[in-house]
Amino acid sequence: MAQKVRVAVVGASGYTGGELLRLLASHPHVDITLVTAEKHAGKQVQDVFPSLRGSVGAQPLVKADASEIRAQADFAFTALPHHTAASVVAELWTAGMPVVDLSADYRFEELSVYEAWYGAHPRPDVIPQAIYGLPELHRERIRGAKLVANPGCYVTSAILALAPLLRDGLIEPTDILDDAKSGMSGAGRSASEEMLFSEVNEGFRPYKVANHRHQPEIEKELSTQAGGTEVRVTFVPHLLPINRGILSSIYCKPKAGVTVKEALEAWDRAYGGEYFVRLVGQGKVPNPGHVRGSNFCDLGLHFDERQNRLILFSALDNLVKGASGQAVQNMNLMLGFDETAGLDRFPIFP
C-alpha cells in the first residue's frame, strides 16, 4: 500500500474543523498527524467533538506554529478566522507545503475588494498564488496547485446554479436575486445572544440584507464566468432554525428568445458528468434535508411564464459541499487522488 499523506487540520475546534476531521478520518489516503486549536489546546478531539470518539477522538489538540506544522505534516487545511489565516497560510505556502484555506483571505484577486469587506490584508503578496477552489469550474487549475482558496457556502450554492447560464449568455447579468436560507451552523460555533435556542427556534429572519460578505465573492466569480461582463446580485441571506443546510432560491431574467430547454441544456452540459452536482429537473425542488452530511449539491429549475422569470433552486450542506467536503475535494485534486475519495457517501435521511 502506498504511504499515506500526513495531514494537519489547523484551527480544528469550530464546525468546519470538526467536519474536516470527520471526513478525513475515513479517507483512504490520509493520516491526520496534527490537529491544532488555541482555546482547546491540551484537550483531546473527543472532548470537543464527542461524535468522533473511537476514530480520531483520542488525538490531542495542540498549539503549533508554521514550522511545527511543516515538521509534522505534508499537507494542511487551515480553518482559521479571516486575517489570522493569511499569515499562517503564507508561511506554509512559502515553505512549499500545499494548503487549502477555508477562510476568505485568498478568495479575491483584487486586493481592494477584499479590503473593502474584510480590512487590510496581512499578506497581499501571496494573493496571486491562490486558485479559487470550486472544482466543477476550475478543476484543471486546481490539479497540482499549492494554494487553494476554498469558496464560501452561500457562494458555492449560488455559483453552481448560475454559472452555466451566465457563461452561455442566457440570462441578464444585472437582474439576479439570490434569496438564500442557511442552517445555524453557518454562523459558527462561538456563543452569542442572537444564536441562543430561544432566540432562533420557531423563528425565521433575514440578516445582513444586501450587505453580506459573500455578495462580492458571488459577483466576482460570476463575472469571471460571464467572460468579464459585470454581474450584479441582490443577495438576501436568512437564518433557519435547523442545524445545517442551505437552500438558495434564485430569481433571474432570461434574455430575449431564451427557452427553459436551453437553460436545462446548459446545466446538463456543465454538470451532466459531475458526481457531486445532481440535477433534479424542471418543476422539482431540491431540499437541504436530502443532501445532509454529503458533498452533493442538488439543482432544480422552475419557469414563471407570466413574469418571464427563471427560478433556480440550489441545495447543499453548508458544512460539507459548502466548506469541509469541498476542501477535501480540492485536496484530492491537488494530490492526484480520485476526486471522490473520502466523500463517496450518500446523504443522511431523515
Tell me the percentage of the chain whose pLDDT exceeds 70. Answer: 99
Q: Which residues are catalytic?
A: 153
pLDDT in tens, 22-32: 999 999 999 99
**Which residues sit opposite 6 in a β-bridge?**
31
Cα gap 159→62, rounded to integer Å: 36
pLDDT in tens, 42-86: 999 999 999 999 999 999 999 999 999 999 999 999 999 999 999
Nine-digit cell string for 217: 465573492
What is the three-state SS of the chain?
CCCCEEEEEECCCCHHHHHHHHHHCCCCCEEEEEEECCCCCCCEHHHHCHHHCCCCCCCECECCCHHHHHHHCCEEEECCCCCHHHHHHHHHHHCCCCEEECCCCCCCCCHHHHHHHHCCCCCHHHHHHCEECCHHHHHHHHCCCCEEECCCHHHHHHHHHHHHHHHCCCEEEEEEEEEEEECHHHHCCCCCHHHCHHHHCCCCEECCCCCCCHHHHHHHHHHHHCCCCCCCEEEEEEECCCCCCEEEEEEEEECCCCCHHHHHHHHHHHHCCCCCEEEEEECCCCCHHHCCCCCCEEEEEEEECCCCEEEEEEEECCCHHHHHHHHHHHHHHHHCCCCCCCCCCCCCCC
Cα gap 234→162, rounded to integer Å: 13
Paired sense of beta strands 309-316 and 246-254, if any: antiparallel
Cα gap 232→300, rounded to integer Å: 22
What pLDDT, on the 0 to 100 scale, is given for residue 138?
98
pLDDT in tens, 145-169: 999 999 999 999 999 999 999 999 9
Nine-digit cell string for 244: 445545517
Q: Report whether pLDDT(184) > 80.
A: yes
Contacts of 117 (CB under 8 A, 6+ apart): 213, 216
The radius of gyration of the chain from alpha carbons, rounded to an integer in Å, stands at 20
User: Residue 3 — pLDDT band, cuts 50, 70, 90?
Assistant: confident
The mean pLDDT value for 255-282 works out to 97
The mean pLDDT value for 292-319 works out to 97
Q: What angle do CA 294, 299, 303 make, to 5 degrees?
A: 160
Short-list 55, 66, 47, CA closest to 26? 55
Backbone phi and psi for residue 146, each to the nearest 5 degrees, phi listed first: -105, -20
pLDDT in tens, 105-154: 999 999 999 999 999 999 999 999 999 999 999 999 999 999 999 999 99
- Return mean pLDDT, the chain: 95
What pLDDT, on the 0 to 100 scale, is given for residue 1?
46
pLDDT in tens, 206-246: 999 999 999 999 999 999 999 999 999 999 999 999 999 99
Nine-digit cell string for 137: 469550474
What pLDDT, on the 0 to 100 scale, is given for residue 192?
73
Handedness of CA 173, 174, 179, 182 (dihedral sign): positive
What pLDDT, on the 0 to 100 scale, is given for residue 191?
63
pLDDT in tens, 62-73: 999 999 999 999
Nine-digit cell string for 21: 476531521
